[in-house]
Amino acid sequence: MMDIRDIREREAEFQTAADGKGIAISIRELLETDDRRRSLAAEAEALRERRNRLSREIGGMAGGDRSDMQRLKQEVRTEKAKLEHIENELQTVLHRYRYLMDRVPNLVSPDTPAGASDADNVTLSMVGIPTQFDFTPRDHVELGELHRLFDLERGVKVAGTRSYFLKGDGLRLHRAVQQLALDLLEDRGFTAMDVPLMVRTKAMRDTGFFPTGQDQAYRIEGEDAWLVGTSEVPLIAYYSDEILDPAEPIRAAGVSTCFRSEVGSAGRDVRGLYRVHQFAKVEQIVICRGEAEESEALLQEITRNAENLLDLLELPYRKVAVCIGDMSQKNYKQYDLETWMPGRDAYGETHSSSNVGDFQARRAGLRYRGEDGKLRYCHTLNNTAAATPRLLIPLIENHQRADGSIYLPPALRPYMGGREMLEVPAGRAGLFHADI
């Protein structure tokens, strides 16, 4: 959690961050609660000291005046009752203090745009132009059915809404994109890691996904275990409560299946593979020294890694600066990459890069020794290098041909048996939109 001293010194900034991120918390109430916590703690300590002193006096009165001993014993009982009352009140205040502290957001960078939602994000750059077709293009659902890449109907039958089966070349594309991303990152010094899909509540809280994002996670009933929505959680928790040596930034690439409940998104992006409950990601995380210039440079680096993947996939995309109203509690600065999706006739988010500053490090206990030997908190960063099956949407939609075949960029071909195209399966080449 954030340092209460910083919160006290920058009360207005923290309140602005909370309001901007839509987090219902009064920083003034937090500070008043902290004042009461300190006052009660001091009062309790004074009562304990007086009780202990009286007990010592009683212990030294063996054989002394009985009435004086009874008087002191009565004083001890009175002090004990007062102490119990103060300690009970202190526990109530502590509970409220921790509740509020858990909801204090990270501050945002000076260049974070103002705004209330993703509609207010600011485009910083564009690569390529939206794909133009001289035929009526199919969307990814039609292409998927034409090529038998996935089965949505049976996915819903087996697992409920927003579920799917990947099949044949759909599965091969899914794995090819992941492996391409992983190979790219390993070439750039990232250590590949397969991570646990279930983590304890502490890991979710330490990484800033709880409490404000708890409604997005799936809990394992009867256990202290949650399904992760990103390998960022186990990768940061992997280093928790350790003193690290980030003289060279720690770079890890997590590979995992991910789960998200999508509470509050009913009716949004329900067609096809855009918003599903289960997906796979290759995630970049970086842990570095707590230096603002260093973490900013690393934010640019991990964002470029994701952009390079989209370049290899030959997809048009844009980079946007995420506004405060579209940021989570933990993020200090965030970029999104949005890839052109012809079936939506719009850009759709496929990647996200975040500089979290020391927010996670404080919660998870990630520290290092500075040049003066003193312990300092690290900075942490993360980026979605590849999230599938969502990334398959622009991949197959942008690269479709008039005959229904799908072009494979050269970077993918080694993972797809050397094929240059996904040809329409035999017996399906004559199908039109209405037949699919």
Q: What is the CATH number of the domain that holds 361?
A: 3.30.930.10
Q: Are residues 93 and 136 in the same domain?
A: no
401 closest CA partner among 374, 420, 376 = 420
Domain presence at residue 387:
yes
C-beta neighbour count of 28 within 10 angstroms: 10
The tokens for 178 are: 């992941």
Q: Are residues 281 and 151 in the same domain?
A: yes
Total of domains in the chain: 2
d(CA 337, CA 305): 11
Determine the angle formed by the axes of helices 168-187 and 292-312, rounding to 10 degrees. Answer: 140
What pLDDT sits at residue 65? 66
The tokens for 325 are: 């109203």
Q: Mention every residue, 6+ apart, whose C-beta is less than 8 A from residue 282.
A: 178, 181, 182, 185, 253, 254, 255, 384, 385, 386
List, in sequence order, every residue forming a beta bridge with 128; answer none if it has no partner: none
d(CA 108, CA 382): 16
d(CA 151, CA 214): 30
C-beta neighbour count of 239 within 10 angstroms: 21
The tokens for 55 are: 């007990």
pTM of the model: 0.92
Rg, the chain, Cα only? 28
> What is the set of active-site residues?
260, 275, 349, 352, 390
Q: Quick one: how far is CA 361 from the chain centroid?
A: 14
What pLDDT sits at residue 55? 77
Domain presence at residue 46:
yes
Domain presence at residue 109:
no
Domain presence at residue 139:
yes
Greatest extent of the chain over all pairs of C-alpha atoms, in Å: 110
C-beta neighbour count of 49 within 10 angstroms: 11
What's the domain range around 89? 4-101
The tokens for 389 are: 């099956």
Q: Are residues 50 and 141 in the same domain?
A: no
Phi and psi torsions of 191, nearest 5°: -90, 120
Q: Are residues 198 and 244 in the same domain?
A: yes
d(CA 428, CA 237): 49
Domain presence at residue 227:
yes
What pLDDT sits at residue 259? 97
Q: Are residues 297 and 176 in the same domain?
A: yes
List, in sequence order, every residue forming a beta bridge with 219; answer none if it has no partner: 226
The per-residue pLDDT string of the chain (436 residues; one tens digit each, 9 = 90 and over) reads 799 999 999 999 999 999 999 999 999 999 999 999 999 999 999 998 888 887 777 766 765 566 777 777 788 788 889 999 999 999 999 999 999 999 999 999 999 999 999 999 999 999 999 999 999 999 999 999 999 999 999 999 999 999 999 999 999 999 999 999 999 999 999 999 999 999 999 999 999 999 999 999 999 999 999 999 999 999 999 999 999 999 999 999 999 999 999 876 656 677 899 999 999 999 999 999 999 999 999 999 999 999 999 999 999 999 999 999 999 999 999 999 999 999 999 999 999 999 999 999 999 999 999 999 999 999 999 999 999 999 999 999 999 999 999 999 999 999 999 999 999 998 766 554 444 4
Cα 138–141–146 angle (5° rounding)? 70
Find out whether 28 and 11 touch, Cβ atoms under 8 Å: yes
Q: Are residues 79 and 130 in the same domain?
A: no
Find out whether 149 and 357 touch, Cβ atoms under 8 Å: no
List, in sequence order, every residue forming a beta bridge with 180; answer none if it has no partner: none
Q: Are residues 290 and 424 in the same domain?
A: yes
Q: Are residues 386 and 247 in the same domain?
A: yes
Question: What three-state secondary structure class fits 324?
Answer: helix
Domain presence at residue 110:
no
Give the end of a domain, one of 72, 101, 130: 101
Q: Based on DSSP, count helices (H) and strands (E) in the chain, helices before strands.
A: 12, 18
Find out whether 6 and 358 touch, Cβ atoms under 8 Å: no
